[in-house]
A and B are shown apart, each in its own frame.
Chain A
Amino acid sequence: MDFKDETTLSRRTFVKGSLAGLALAGAAGSAALYGCTPAEEKEQSGEGAPAEEADQIVWSQCVVNCGGACALRWHTKDGKLLYAETDNTGDAEKLQVRACLRGRSLRRWVNSPDRLMHPMKRSGKRGEGMFEQISWDEALDEIASKLTETIEKYGNEAVYINYGSGVGSVTSRVFPRLMNLMGGYLKYYYDYSTNMMQAGMPYTFGEDWTDGGSKFSSSMSEAKNSDLIVLFGNSPAETRMGGANIVYDYTQVRESGPRIISVDYRLNESSSGQVDEWVPIRPGTDAALVNAIAHEFIVNDQVDKEFLDTYCIGYDEDTMPESAKGQNKSYKDYIMGTGYDMTEKTPEWAAPITQIPADRIRSLASDIANAKAPFIAQGWGPQRHSNGENTSRAICMIPMLIGQIGLPGTNTGSREANPDGIVGGMPKGDNPVKTSINCYQWLNAVDHGEKMTAAKDGVRGTDKLKTGIKFIWNYAGNTITNQHGDINKVHEILQDETKCEFIVVIDTVLTDSARYADILLPDAMRAEQPHMAGNGYAEYYDGVILGAQAQEAPGEAMREYDIVSNLAEKLGKKDEFTEGKTQEEWIEELYKKAADADGNMPSWEEMQEQGIFKRELNPVIGLKDFRDDPESNPLETPSGKLEIYSESLAEAAMQMELEEDEIVTPIPVFDPGFQGYGSVTDEYPLYCSSFHFKGRTHSSYGGVDELKQVCRQQMWINPADAESRNIENGDMCAVTSPAGTIRIEARVTPRIIPGTVGIPQGAWHDADMTGDRIDNGGCINTLTTYRPSPLAKGNGVHSIIVQVAKA
């Protein structure tokens, strides 16, 4: 039979189109066939033929904190990278740790002409990016003397190791180990990814809640037993992209048949190819939707009262703690309009807030209530708002209210389960300094640390900081500016060199943060050294990759372990730091330690041969033990139960010094928050949020031209909002918030809700900071405002208001 007939007859309706649009490219191409510049010509070098044959294939890994840690197999010749393959061991349909587009572009980063090659010392102002080359000896001498001087003058609390996640490896991120040998440093708590969630969730789930550990969440693979999956701001196709990551589990779950609903302000890539699964919502209003769903559960008698009475505290008066009884402070009172704000949370109340029609909310509530096993899961976007602490807890109310927790096919409302991991890193030692701040508070601690207190700023371990931060370590991270908040404010504060006196940045390229370094050191990449790391924290399997050096580091770039060892020598701590071991010896020791503890891993010799070890994990159901036997398996909350009303949070709130427009509530309420719903003005009439983008992991890979070309940095804007501003697809626009202005190309698309624009996070800041400060790179953190959230004191920065105009 002619295959053509077979395929076209049954699918006749699909063949109407043409690539007429694409013909544009061809038409342009005919004129531009030979139109490239000499520079481009040199770059192209006539490749495109089959790649040369490798003389060596070397295992390595992409480890930039996307949640995955994918395998790379470098094909090299004469010690030079030719190209990468990924994990191609075992069954292609099963567990293969396949790298995404970023990992497949890593060669471009490793071999970038922009790699840092030599130690440098700042010669201009901070942020200008002016440096002069110095020797390693000079650089390390200067760092050692400045560090010693800082500790003598201000104490160890004046030294800070900034958050960063651009590299993960068992022998990486060893600056804390050195600092602990030096008497300690000011620590941070939480992280930029899950800041508000980490503050809020423990009040409901208990002290040992982590950002989705396997106790509190179900694995995505468990959703195969679900008939309805509801995702809040959760797009594995954009945030969990590797072949062994959640996106593949999700794909398999989808094909097993459950209905999927995606609550998001964008029609995200996880709904690609689907129809009728997107419920568009205004960003930052998830808790309002939850309220209305809860209302429907209550009025339709769908609440599982027995579950709530047995497993939860504070749904209604029956389980309120003594301190709050008889005061209409229960969750039910809040929803039904007899409590907290005396407003009934009907779908009609929620519709204008969320932009979801009341009828749609009713049908959504009904679908969830009638599902046999609803799998409710949130991503980290909903909580990255100024009201994120409440939002993250609120989403978990849905399964709780209907008793759908701890049962097959269900989830707790948290993000999916993480595995525990089977290899550990070099021990960091003990930090004698017990003081810590939220990771987002470092800038305040530079600016006015001595005024920061526990009650006002969330300082932990002491009532107030003794000193501001005077010395910053910044290793493989970009949260000085690019990935922090309000870059313009950071710039101003760091200009005053009497505040933070010294900044050391260690990185592979000149990131925007690196421009603020006083000493800038060139780091070697994973492809340039022995390496070991486990699977990514989001990937639901057990794994290890043992990497080797595929290529020499360029110039004087040095491995982090050697940098710190050499510095430790200058500080008289080398023996304690290295314990007499090389990086290779540490890796071997750490592997053997893990293998001994596990009992089922390959021997060290076998591992050196095979490079990768991977083991599937059975699906897990969050809070199953608690559901099965709450008496024997109490939670680590004061009551041992799920606390809808948290007495300890009510007490903690009493101790906090909050701004007038800030609230911290013992039940998860909808509060619009700073620059949240209702805050738009004539000057800033649009909401703006951000999203993780396939072309980058945070800002990592942001300099790779091949990725930038196929993943253009564009602002998503609904046709209605574009039309009223005369903006057409592809137009260059200015986006202005109270904090700053970026220039960015418009992507006019129906895939975003009207009234809100969406900007992919992580683009490299590119502004003349001594001039107009307009950011031509389109970095979201030029627009974000530096205002720590009420409870976490974290980066609830995706509550933004803006104006957009054609530039």
Chain B
Amino acid sequence: MQYGFFFDNARCTGCKTCELACKDYKGLDASRTYRRVIDYEGGTWETSPDGSVTQNCFVYHISLACNHCSDPACTRVCPTGAMHKDDLGLVWPDATKCIGCGYCTMACPYHAPVIDQVSKKSSKCDGCRERIATGSKPICVEACPLRALDFAETSELLSTHPECASSILPLAEPEYTHPNLFINVSDAAAYASEHGKGHIANYDEID
């Protein structure tokens, strides 16, 4: 069994409700997050002699937590086996085995694991596995005002959203870890892919 996230990149307006709902539920302060929202934008301007302007700007957002990859980088580098995939395909660190070395935080191309500064152990999105066990969705999914997130078995997500991609700029190529992330690609992301020249606009908000 494998669970994964669906993310509607065409719907997302970058409001970050998912991130703050997660922080509230998981008790994470400003210094730590399990989900982040990337602002990705680009475009250039030209000014005419009469002062009028033309542009080709775009912006889109990516809400990103752990993608519970089929071939996770974090589990590969974990020296103790603490970081593991469970029966639902969810990836999370077993605190009893974690030594807080931080290799997982460096290996993950999505920056999902973070070191808990108090326990000195790895911590991350675990798909709200205790909520899944009771039939609820993860807190972020139930939070999204636009219903742009979902979480379910990958077979179900694939049948509901057959046109999905598993990466858009600037995410890593899926071949690295085979993320269970199903993205409905926005026009702006398609445009960025074709024309390039986009960039992450909010590093300070996502580190």
Binding site for B on A (CB under 8 A): 3-4, 6-8, 10-11, 13-22, 24-26, 28-30, 33-34, 36, 40-41, 43-51, 83-86, 88, 92-93, 98-102, 104-105, 107-108, 237-238, 241-243, 245, 247-248, 251, 267, 269-275, 278, 280, 348, 351-352, 354-358, 360, 694, 705-712, 718-720, 730, 747, 749-751, 753-754
Contact = CB atoms under 8 A, between A and B. Distances in A.
Interface string B1-29: 00000000111111111011101111111
12 contacts: A7-B164, A11-B165, A15-B174, A18-B170, A21-B170, A98-B17, A251-B146, A271-B59, A275-B191, A351-B50, A357-B54, A709-B205
A242 B144 CA distance: 9
A101 B30 contact: no
B75 interface: no
B52 A45 contact: no
A14 B102 contact: no
B70 to A, nearest CB: 7
A86 B70 CA distance: 31
A151 B183 CA distance: 65
B61 interface: yes
A272 B61 contact: yes
A8 B168 CA distance: 10
A34 B105 contact: no
B168 A14 contact: yes
A6 B182 CA distance: 11
B87 interface: no
B119 A46 contact: yes
B80 interface: no
Contacts, number: 324
A88 B147 CA distance: 12
A715 B56 CA distance: 21
B99 interface: no
A34 B53 contact: no
Query: What 6 pairs between A and B have smallest CB-CB spacing?
Result: A47-B27, A273-B186, A11-B165, A237-B13, A46-B118, A25-B207
Contact of B41 (A7, A93, A712, A749): A749
Nearest to A745: B204
B138 to A, nearest CB: 11
A587 B186 CA distance: 46
A267 B60 CA distance: 11
B26 A711 contact: no
Contacts of B147: 92-93, 243, 248
A250 B205 CA distance: 27
Contacts of A36: 31, 117
Contact of B118 (A24, A41, A708): A41
B118 A15 contact: no
Given A275-B191, A751-B59, A107 B24 contact: yes
A609 B194 CA distance: 54
A8 B165 contact: yes
A7 B174 contact: yes
Contact of B207 (A14, A24, A102, A248): A24
Interface string B187-207: 111110110000111111111
Contact of A243 (B109, B128, B145, B163): B145
B143 A718 contact: no
Contact of B43 (A107, A707, A710, A750): A750
Given A48-B28, A237-B14, A272-B12, 10 more contacts: A10-B165, A50-B26, A98-B145, A237-B15, A348-B50, A357-B52, A706-B30, A708-B30, A709-B30, A709-B205
A694 B15 contact: yes
B86 interface: no
A356 B44 CA distance: 15
- Name, among B43, B114, B128, the residue most crowded by chain A CB atoms within 10 Å (CB to CB): B43
B52 A352 contact: yes
B194 A273 contact: no
B84 interface: no
A44 B128 CA distance: 19
B61 A104 contact: no
Contacts of B110: 19, 22
A241 B139 CA distance: 18
Contacts of A247: 13, 145-146
Interface in B68-116: 70, 100, 102, 105-106, 109-111, 114-116
A108 to B, nearest CB: 8
A274 B16 contact: no
A270 B13 contact: yes
B59 A272 contact: yes
A358 B17 contact: no
B6 to A, nearest CB: 12
A17 B42 CA distance: 14
A104 B35 CA distance: 14
B203 A21 contact: yes
A242 B145 contact: yes
B73 to A, nearest CB: 12
A355 B53 contact: yes
Contacts of A270: 13
A369 B178 CA distance: 50
B172 A19 contact: yes
Contacts of B32: 44, 48
A105 B117 CA distance: 22
Contacts of A34: 115, 117, 120
B141 to A, nearest CB: 9
Given A273-B188, A275-B191, A51 B26 contact: yes
A3 B117 contact: no
Contact of A104 (B24, B42, B166, B170): B24
A103 B186 CA distance: 27
A160 to B, nearest CB: 36
Contact of B17 (A47, A104, A360): A104
